[in-house]
Structure 1
């Protein structure tokens, strides 16, 4: 007997140059993704930038950024809720993947497979200094269920 696959769950969202608006907090969540390439299952919220996992399982996620400017940049894919770290969202248990783009590079990306429980969320954060120049970058945030 073969196992039947579950529902197709996944998203691919693009945050183009010039749309990061909230730079008032120390940690900024990338949000207002204006170009949704796919959102199977409708579990990615473009306004908040959060992907809410509907089923337990393994999920693949990636983040890529591109710019033509010589700037340092650091961003992190986080898993929420994380109740064990202080400051919030900065521990090994909630950090899924990190990317760093140096002044000499024009792009950076990360790809990782993570075990998730239903109701947990994935989102992308950066610090205030990075958020203030985020409007100079193209971001692509992707996630999908493997099994």
Structure 2
């Protein structure tokens, strides 16, 4: 298993993968947690027509992959609207298309969590993350 201590290839790969998605979406900010279970939050600029008073975000975790969400009225919680549901690490372009469909008023993806994998399982996930590592190290904010 590849280390996820914040310095290993899987951790760097997760950050690079999220940076690629954030750049494609022109996300103003994002953060991630690389420990098991790995999670991420990407803030999105626009609001959805059906939720004009709520901030919009993308959530990601290593079990269910990407989900579109809105912040609760109090702003202290998020409500998932839909899960992308294709793969835990889809290409950034697939995530962008998902977000575009959500903003267009569609109901893409699926309503239930896909439960792709068990966090921390030795199933090749960390190695997939490591392929995104390259040489760059990012700071965690786009």
Q: TM-score range by the shorter chain?
A: 0.3 to 0.5
The two structures have a TM-score, normalised by structure 1, of 0.33
Q: Which has the higher contact order (CA 8 A, sep 6+)?
A: 1
More helix, by proportion: 2
More strand, by proportion: 1
CA radius of gyration, larger in: 1
